[in-house]
């Protein structure tokens, strides 16, 4: 258990929290004293995650929530407020990502609409339902899980468009909510070792070599960033996108390696000719 207790007495709702980044964030916040509502479309998995957190001595409950359904979203928010006495933190983590069609003109309208609805409109629905309660708490914070896909091309047209939209929503909502005492921020990860990469260890190993820090991310890396932005340690931060990406957007590792290797070959060639 972490020594920090920044969320003692806080009520927290996390979407898509049955596994991966959502589950890691739930664990981190519970370890810091939060009471967490683990929501997911998969209630069995959500119950399992909440049960594991209770075994650690934390306060966690599970609730079914499809962020595409306004009624379910509002029910989840109401449940959190009733169960915990307040809602202090909302973590928008739920998303949908459909692999691209080989050709853009073959993209499917339904998949496009669903990716945007779950990923972007889902965060909108949850934030809208939660905002009055976050205001009432006097220390409210929204942290949304975005992606570097919203900043740079990593594929996945609809998903990337939705993540870019989340960055814009973060800025506009931060401006609206600031005078009401609620902070709104976003974390933008790159490759993170979650169940979405299950069975693809070789791909992750290749990806690790493209990161300046020499590895892909772990769910706990993102959870730590969420905990910071949701806490009073970030009391003067709102409307920001925090890139938690191993340096991949700052440094083109593949390009640097290619140039270095090319330069080495050229130097060796020049030396052999002189010899």
Active site residues: 159, 163
Cα separation, 142 vs 229, whole angstroms: 9
| Residue 261 CB partners (closer than 8 Å, separation 6+) | none
């Amino acid at each position: 258990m972490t020594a920090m207790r920044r969320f003692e007495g806080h009520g927290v709702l996390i979407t898509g929290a049955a596994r991966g980044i959502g589950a890691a964030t739930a664990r981190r916040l519970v370890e810091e004293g939060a009471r967490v509502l683990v929501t997911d479309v998969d209630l069995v998995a959500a119950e399992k995650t909440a049960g594991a957190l209770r075994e650690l001595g934390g306060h966690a409950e599970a609730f079914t929530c499809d962020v595409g359904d306004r009624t379910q979203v509002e029910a989840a928010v109401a449940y959190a407020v009733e169960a915990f006495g307040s809602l202090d933190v909302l973590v928008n983590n739920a998303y949908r990502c459909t692999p691209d069609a080989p050709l853009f003109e073959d993209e499917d309208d339904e998949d496009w609409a669903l990716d945007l609805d779950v990923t972007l409109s889902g965060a909108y629905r949850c934030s809208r339902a939660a905002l009055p309660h976050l205001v009432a708490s006097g220390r409210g914070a929204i942290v949304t899980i975005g992606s570097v896909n919203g900043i740079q091309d990593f594929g996945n047209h609809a998903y990337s468009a939705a993540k870019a939209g989340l960055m814009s929503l973060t800025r506009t909502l931060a401006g609206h909510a600031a005078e009401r005492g609620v902070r709104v921020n976003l974390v933008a990860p790159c490759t993170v070792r979650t169940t979405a990469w299950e069975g693809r260890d070789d791909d992750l190993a290749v990806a690790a070599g493209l990161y300046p820090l020499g590895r892909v991310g772990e769910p706990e890396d993102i959870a730590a960033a969420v905990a910071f932005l949701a806490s009073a340690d970030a009391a003067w931060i709102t409307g920001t996108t925090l890139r938690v990406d191993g340096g991949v957007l700052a440094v083109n590792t593949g390009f640097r390696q290619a140039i270095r290797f090319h330069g080495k070959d050229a130097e060796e060639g020049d030396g052999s000719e002189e010899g």
